[in-house]
Amino acid sequence: MLEIQEIFNRLQQAFGDRVLRLVTDNVDPWIEIQPGSIAEVSRFLREEPDLAFDFLNCISAVDYFDPKPRDPAAFQPRIELLYHLTSLKHRHRLVLKTTLPRWKNNLNGDLPELPTVSHIWPTAAWHEREIFDLMGVRFLGHPDLRRILCPEDWVGHPLRKDYQMPEEYHGIPLR
């Protein structure tokens, strides 16, 4: 079983500055990587024999948004994605983290994008669809990126902190 520091060192050796940092003072230590490298790093983690992260437990997304931050100069609205991985073979676990701007190119309404990992762990297809539907992250290369919980014609992404619930849906009052 590899320790997270060893995994971090292997990733830095393989990917250099695309591996941003290691944080070990949390309940679940994590390694942060650049968003565009998520698929490449994931493939490496799955295919390296002594790593063999063959199971994707889940992908979580967190919206860091505050319409009235205490320190507007220091606050950076963002969406963080966390990939919880397990090697069933070696019995080690890992959390990968990547950070996206809330809006692509800072254009309000233009969804941020990230490469899919559904070709590496097929179960990611469901997790990515849920994140797309509820948080508004577009996964590039996903084989079937469409809503999974909300109707196809639903407007917006309900788990974003600035989401405005509509008054009605197809004539049905929602409030």
Span 98-116, average pLDDT:
93
For residue 125, how far is the Cα from the chain centroid?
A: 12
Do the Cβ atoms of 97 and 30 come closer than 8 Å? yes
pLDDT value of residue 147: 97
The predicted-structure confidence for 24-53, as pLDDT tens digits, reads as follows: 998 999 999 999 999 999 999 999 999 999
pLDDT value of residue 66: 85
How many domains are there within the chain?
1
CATH code of the domain in which 167 resides: 3.30.460.80
Q: Report DSSP letters for 54-94, one per residue.
A: -EEEEEEEEEE--SS-SSTTT---EEEEEEEEEETTTTEEE
The predicted-structure confidence for 54-81, as pLDDT tens digits, reads as follows: 999 999 999 999 888 888 878 889 999 9
pLDDT of 175 strictly over 80:
no
The predicted-structure confidence for 132-165, as pLDDT tens digits, reads as follows: 999 999 999 999 999 999 999 999 999 999 999 9
Instruction: Round to whole Å and give the CA distance between 116 and 142.
Output: 5
The predicted-structure confidence for 7-16, as pLDDT tens digits, reads as follows: 999 999 999 9
Report DSSP state, residue 105. G
Domain containing residue 102: 4-66+75-173
